Amino acid sequence: MSVSDDVDLYWFRWKALFLAAVEKCVPVKVIKDTNSPPWIDGEIRHLLRKKYRALKKYRENRTEQRKRKLRSLSNDIKILVRHKHRDYLNKIVGSFCENPKLFWSYHKAVLHHRSGVDSVITHNGQTVKTSGEKAELFNTYFCSVFTSPNTVPSTMPSNPNRSDVEISDVQLSVEEVELCLAGLDSSKASGPDGIPAHILKQCSKEIAPSLCALFNHSLRTGRFPAEWKNADVTPVHKKDLKEPAGNYRPISLLSIVSKVMERCVCNRFYAHVSRLITELQHGFMRNRSCVTQLLPVLHSISKSLDRNTQTDMLYFDFAKAFDSVDHAILIQKLKWYGVTGQLLSWFKDYLNHRYQRVVIDGVASQYLPVTSGVPQGSLVGPLLFVIFINDLPDSIQEQTSSALYADDTKLYRSISSQSDCENLQRDISNLNTWSHNSNMKFNASKCKVLTVTRKKSPVLTDYHLDNAILQRVQQENDLGVI
C-alpha cells in the first residue's frame, strides 16, 4: 500500500486482505448456544449423555438391571453437579478481586438474568413492538441526550499554560502494536466490521507490522478511518419497568482494530498527560480507585468529628456527563495540555462525524449522528473526559475540599458558623459557572446535601443550584458505600 493512500482506502484494503485470509485459513465450527450454568462442564455433559442412552434403553426394555443403572447414573450426576457447584463457588471467592466477571456470570446464571429488550417499548407516548421499530425508537432516544455543538465561551482562557511540554507527533512501534494485540480480551464481541478479537489476538505477531503501518499513517495524516467511527448500540435494561426506553442504557460495540489503535495511542498520551491530572481525580487513573478517593474524605470527616464540628457534603450529578462533552471545548482544553500538530488534528477527526445505530434481534436502525460526548465503549474516551473535567476543582476555594471519581463530584467543608455555609454556597455558584462555561449541566434534582455531625443542633442552611434548593438527605450512596 502506498503511503499516499487515503486512510479509509488503506483500512478497506487491509480489512479485505485480512478477511480473505480468515475465510481461507480459519475453520468454521458451529457451537450450540446453551443456557447451562457455568459449572456444567464436559464431564457432567458426558454423564448426561450416558444417562440419556440408559434412559432410552430402559424405555425399550424395562428390566430391573437397566433401572438400577439409570438410577445410579442419576445419583452420580447429582453428586458431581454438587461438587462442581461447590468448586465453582470456591473459585469465585478465591479470585473475586482478580476476576469479578466470574461473580457476575454466576449471578446471572442463578437469577436467570435477562437483560434483553421488552416485547413492548414506549417513549413520549409512542408504543412500538417490532424489532425494527424498537431499534429506531431507541436510537432516537439515545441521540436525544447529545448537546448541540457550541463555540468556545469567551470566558474560557485560551492558553492557561498547564503544560510546558508539547506532544504533537506519535510514531508507534511494531512491538507496541503486537503487545496491544496480544492483550486483547478474546471474549469481547466483534464491532460493526465483524472482525473478532480472538483471531486478531492469535495472529498478533503476523499482523502487527501491517497494522502498525496503518496506525502510523492515520497519526501522520491526522485522520481516523470513517468506518471506525460507526458504533453498533445494544440497549441494556438498567432499572425499574422494562417498557420505558428511558430505563435502558446504551452499550456500544466499536471496531476491535480501532480499539487496538486507541490502546496504543492512549498508552503514549497517558504518559504525557498523567502528571497534569489533578490528584483529586481518582477515576480512570492508574493506582487510584474508589478507595483512594474515599479515604481522604473519611479522614477529613473524622477530624471534624473529633473537633466536634460538622461537615457539610454536597454530591453533584451531571446530566449525561459522558454524552455531553462539547467537542470544541474539549479540543481547546487539549491545547492547554500541550497537544498540538498532527496529534491534535487526529483527536479532532476522531471526535467528529461519528455515527451510531441500534441493533435489536439482528435488525438495525438507521445511522444517526453523534454530535457530542466521548465515544462510549472506547479506550481514549475516558481519558479525554478526565482532561475535560480536570479544571473543575480550580473554581473551588482553598478551604473547601473536592473529590472526583470520573464525573462523580463532591464538595465538603467543615462548618462552624453560617459564614462557612455562605462560603460553601459561593463554591456551589462557582461550580455552576464552570458547568455553564463547559456546556455540561448539572441535574439539580439528583444533587444532594449530607450533614455529618454529632451536634444536636447543627448549622443548617438551604444550598441552591441555580434556582433549585438541593435536597437534604440522612444518608447517601458514596461510590457504593452508604
What's the whole-number mean pLDDT along residues 390-410? 95
Per-residue confidence band for 104, with pLDDT thresholds at 50, 70 and 90: confident
Cell numbers found for residue 282: 481518582
More confident of the two residues 149 and 208: 208
Q: Are residues 197 and 76 in the same domain?
A: no
Print the domain residue range for 206: 7-27+121-145+164-275+327-371
Mean pLDDT of the chain: 91
Q: Whole-prediction pTM value?
A: 0.85
> Do 317 and 334 belong to one domain?
no
- Of residues 340 and 40, the one with the higher pLDDT is 340
pLDDT score for 334? 96
Does residue 158 form part of some domain?
no
- Look up the CATH number of the domain holding residue 292: 3.30.70
pLDDT of residue 148: 76
Q: Nearest-5° angle of CA 290, CA 295, CA 296?
A: 115
Check pLDDT > 80 for residue 231.
yes
pLDDT value for 152: 62
Q: Is residue 15 part of a domain?
A: yes
Q: Which residues pair with 318 in a beta bridge?
A: 442
In a domain, 154, yes or no: no
Instruction: Express each pLDDT in 36-58 by its tens digit.
Output: 777 888 899 999 999 999 999 98
Q: What are phi and psi of 230, to 5 degrees?
A: -90, 135
What is the total count of domains within the chain?
3
In sequence order, the 6+-apart residues with CB closer than 8 A to the CB of 202 are none
Cβ neighbour number for residue 414 with a 10 Å cutoff: 18
Q: Using one digit for the tens of pLDDT, what is the confidence trace for 350-393? A: 999 999 999 998 999 999 999 999 998 999 999 999 999 999 99
Same domain, 269 and 360: yes
In a shared domain, residues 224 and 311: no
- Find the helix packing angle between 380-389 and 256-273, rounded to 10°: 40
End-of-domain residue from the set 313, 347, 371: 371
pLDDT digits (tens, 9 = 90+) for 7-31: 999 999 999 999 999 999 988 877 6
Is 32 part of a structural domain of the chain?
Answer: no
Most confident of the ranges 79-93, 96-110, 161-175, 461-475? 461-475
Q: Which of 317, 188, 181 is nearest to 252 (CA)?
A: 188
pLDDT at 150 over 70: no
pLDDT of residue 156: 64
Label residue 33 by pLDDT band (50, 70, 90).
Answer: low
So what's the pLDDT on residue 111? Answer: 60
Residue 301 shares a structural domain with residue 434: yes
Residue 68's alpha-carbon distances to 43, 73, 267, in angstroms, are 21, 9, 63
Residue 332 and residue 469 in one domain: no
pLDDT given for residue 480 in this prediction: 80
| pLDDT for the residue numbered 396 | 95
Q: Note whether 168 and 217 are same-domain residues.
A: yes
**pLDDT > 70? residue 259:** yes
Question: Model confidence over 265-275: pLDDT tens digits?
Answer: 999 999 999 99
Indicate if the pLDDT at residue 1 is higher than 70.
no
**Tell me, what's the pLDDT at 2?**
52
Q: Is residue 156 part of a domain?
A: no
User: Which whole number is the average pLDDT over 188-204?
Assistant: 93
Q: Is residue 1 part of a domain?
A: no
| pLDDT for residue 296 | 95
* Average pLDDT of the residues in 434-442: 93
* Residues 6+ positions from 381 with CB-CB distance below 8 Å: 322, 374, 375
Q: Cell for 433?
A: 459557572
**Residue 159: inside a domain, yes or no?**
no
Which of 103-112, 236-245, 413-422 comes out lowest in average pLDDT?
103-112
Judged against a pLDDT cut of 70, whether residue 181 lies above it is answered with yes
pLDDT confidence tier of residue 162, bands split at 50, 70 and 90: confident
Domain assignment present for residue 37? The answer is no
| Phi and psi, residue 255, nearest 5° | -55, 130
Residue 137 binned pLDDT confidence (cut-offs 50, 70, 90):
very high
Q: Are residues 213 and 286 in the same domain?
A: no
Mean pLDDT of 125-141: 94
450 and 406 assigned to the same domain: yes
| 257 and 364 part of one domain | yes
The pLDDT of residue 461: 95
pLDDT value of position 106? 73
Per-residue pLDDT band for 158 (boundaries 50, 70, 90) equals low
Amino acid identity for residue 95 in this structure: S
Task: Based on the fold, state whether residues 379 and 393 are members of the same structural domain.
Answer: yes
339 in the same domain as 264: yes
**Distance separating the N- and C-terminal Cα atoms of the chain:** 58
Residue 44 to residues 53, 108, 340, Cα–Cα distance (Å) = 14, 20, 59
The pLDDT score that the predictor gives to residue 115 is 55
**Alpha-carbon distances, residue 59 vs 69, 71, 75 (angstroms):** 13, 13, 19
